[in-house]
Every structure is written in C-alpha cells, then in structure tokens.
Amino acid sequence: MIRYSPAVIKKKILATAALTLGLLAATAGPAAADPLDDAWQAQRGNALPRTSFYDPPTPLPWAPGGTLIRQQDTTEYALGAATRLLYHSRTSDGRDVAASGVLVVPAGQAPAGGWPVVLYAHGASGIARDCAPSLMRDLYHGDQIQRFVTAGYAVVAPDYAGMGTTGRPELVNKTSEAYDLRYGLRAAYRARSDLARQWTVWAHSQGGGAALGMAEQLVRTPEPGYRGMVVTSPAADLPALFDHVVETPGYGAFGVLLPAGAHNSDPRIRLDRILTTEALNRLATIQDGCLGVASVAYADLTGEALIRPDQDDPRFARYLRVNSTGDRPVAGPILLLQGDADTVTPSALTDGVAASLCATGSDVDYRVYPGLEHDSYPQWGVVGIDDGAATVILTWIGERFADRPTTPTCQGM
C-alpha cells in the first residue's frame, strides 16, 4: 500500500474537496460554516443552464454513430465562442444514445487544408447530468483547452453520454466512452467544413482510460486521419486504482463514483454489496452534485468506513478488470505522461501500464516528471501533469501533424 506523510494527506483532502471548482475561500478567509454548502455554491456558480438543446427526440430514431442531432453556437463559455454538439453515440452494449459535447475553433480564417483537430477526453467530473463539461462556464479545464486553440488547433471536447443528455453515464466503461469520443469527432466534422482531416487525441485521467480504449478499437477499426495521442495519468489499471482511492484519505468520492458508474453500465452490480451503509446514505449527493461536491461529501470516509469489508460483488470486480487498458495492442503513437507526485493515479500504476503496453508491441513514449501532481492547485503551489508538461504536449502534437519521427521508449523498459 502507498503511504503519504500527514502533510501530504492534509493537502490531498483539501485539494480533492476543492478540485476544479476552486473553493479558494478556504485559504483566503474564515472557514466556511458548511463546506458542503460551499461546494454546492461553487458548482452552481460555474453552471450553465441545461436547456432543451440537451434533450434528444423521444424516442430517439436510429442513426449512424456521429450523426448530428443538432448544433448550437454560443458565447457563454469563459474562453469565448464555441459550438455545442448533440449527436448519436452508442452504449457499451451497442444501443443508440445521444451524447453532447463542444467544438472550439480558433478565430479567423482556417489555414489551407483546415484547422488540425485535437480530440479531448476529459477527466472525471461526476456522473450527474449537470456534470457535463459543456454545462460548465469554464468547460472544466477550459484554460488548458485554450492553449490548443491559441496554438491553432480546433478542439473537439465530448461529454460522456448521460452527462448533459439523458441516460446513465457508464463511468470508466472503455467501450462506451471510446464510442463517445469517436462519434463526437465525426459529429464535429459534420458540424464544420473547415476542419483538417488529420487529428490527434489529448486525454487525462478518466479520459486517459477512455482514449486508450479508443486506441484499442482503432487497431480493429481505424478512423481516417489519426496521428497519435497524448495520455496523461490514465485511469487504466482499474482494480489497483480502486484499491488505492479507497485506502487514501480524502479520495472517498472516487471510491463511490466507480461502483456507481459500474452500476449504471450493469444494473446487476449491487451497490449495497460494495458500499457501507454510511456511504449509501450519502448517494444523493452524486445524483446532482459533481466531483467537487462529492469530494466534500465523502472526504471523511476511507477504507472500511467507505467499502464493506466483506464486499464481494463479482460483477463489479469483473467490470474493473474488463475495462482496464494497457494489456492489448493500441494504435499509436502514444505519448504517455505521468507525474511522480501524483496522489490520484500513482506513478507505480502508470509504470505498469507503460510496461504492459510495450509488451504488446505498441509505439509508446513514456515519460515521468518529478514533482507534478494529478491536477493543478495554484492556491497551494501544486502543479499538475497537464500544466507542468504543457509545452511538451503541444510540441509532441505539432510533431505528429508535421510527420516527424517518434521516439518510443519501450526498448529501455
């Protein structure tokens, strides 16, 4: 088991509770009387109204994956103009489902051949409808998206189906999330004619697992124009990751969201066989609350206070195994990045994923960066992998569009 000093544990609990919702008041003034109420206020302050745009036709008439249902230009986001997309995707068992997302394109006229495309697979934000990044003013990580737009790339940022739209989000289900990514890309091409046919992927955390799942699919069913992907701190080895977040103070929300998402994918997975009574009693918070709210609600539950000591749901164990990535060949090249100070996805887990990918013969360039965490928390001087390695990410993506050779590291592993 990975152990941390009391100072690190304290920072982790605070960081998890704040996460991307930015509860900066905790360090700027008197402590809030009700941290959960503070988290709700932060979520609502960042939320955009969920309008009828997100409501698909009922019943949803069948259409090929990537078919646009509708699109909507908007200037509601902090980064400026964008286009919302509603499109046909697929569930893990192949059913037609509506999914939403956002397309952000640089201002001005596209270069000859169109804007090169970066497909963004976002990290965990929750499993409620309002947890879709396209329903957040900051697009969840809009400052990072802006870097790509400023560099001259169009960014396609799908929500996972059931977030924003109706449905049941299949958290970390690599099949359904890979469909959402693939078909979100196709929908973007249908929405605008000035996008280049060459595209790359940038994926973080939950999105890293989704992107690697997509890369597994691309081996069997290629998508034209694919040039490679950057994957940072992926949720790939799911059994080990689940054990880690359950035993790590402050990360109880992840220990609840993983089985809840699995239950959405397979209702035969029983939460009452996995979660303690106390954890079950707080489930209402994740029905509408996003990760910041859930993090505060479950911050004090760890280990046997969170997960039943006799939890034995074999379907959940199988769900985690089946949806792990790293043990099958993937379409590359892959730039896999990890911070050695990551307390959500420890570097030891990603070390194993990198070694497994290399063993499959995949084209992997694995790099570990000292001092970088999972996400950034400027109020505590913490820098995450996507910010700390931003220049590396942009350079590598530029090299893929420029047809430059890759530098795989597998021979040294």
For the chain, what are the domain ranges? 6-46+238-321, 57-235+329-412
User: What Rg, from alpha-carbon coordinates, does the chain have?
Assistant: 20
Which residues of the chain register pLDDT less than 50? 1-32
Could you tell me how far CA 345 lies from the centroid of its own chain? 13
pLDDT for the residue 412: 67
Q: How far apart are CA 386 and CA 374, in angstroms?
A: 8
**Furthest-apart CA pair in the chain: how many Å?**
61
pLDDT for the residue 411: 78
**Is-contact 145 152, C-beta < 8 A?**
no
pLDDT tens, 164-184?
999 999 999 999 999 999 999
Residues facing 89 on adjacent strands:
97
SS3 for the chain is CCCCCHHHHHHHHHHHHHHHHCCCHHHHCCCCCCHHHHHHHHHHHHECCCCHHHCCCCCCCCCCCCCEEEEEEEEEECCEEEEEEEEEEECCCCCEEEEEEEEECCCCCCCCCCEEEEEEECCCCCCCHHHCHHHECCCCCHHHHHHHHHCCCEEEEECCCCCCCCCCCCCCCHHHHHHHHHHHHHHHHHHCCCEEEEEEEEEECHHHHHHHHHHHHHHHCCCCCEEEEEEECCCCCHHHHHHHHHHCCCCHHHHHHHHHHHHHHCCCCCHHHCECHHHHHCCHHHHHCCHHHHHHHCCCCCHHHCECCCCCCHHHHHHHHHCCCCCCCCCCCEEEEEECCCCCCCHHHHHHHHHHHHHCCCCEEEEEECCCECCCEHHHCECEHHHHCHHHHHHHHHHHHCCCCCCCCHHHC
pLDDT for the residue 276: 98
Residues facing 88 on adjacent strands:
98
**Please, what CATH class does the domain formed by 57-235+329-412 belong to?**
alpha beta
Q: How far apart are CA 60 and CA 63, in angstroms?
A: 9
pLDDT for the residue 312: 87
pLDDT for the residue 206: 98
pLDDT for the residue 33: 65
Residues facing 119 on adjacent strands:
156, 201
- The end-to-end CA distance of the chain, in Å, is 23
Q: In what order do the strands lie in the sheet with 80-90?
A: 68-77, 80-90, 96-104, 154-158, 115-121, 195-204, 226-232, 334-339, 364-369
Token pair, residue 393, equals: 């990410």
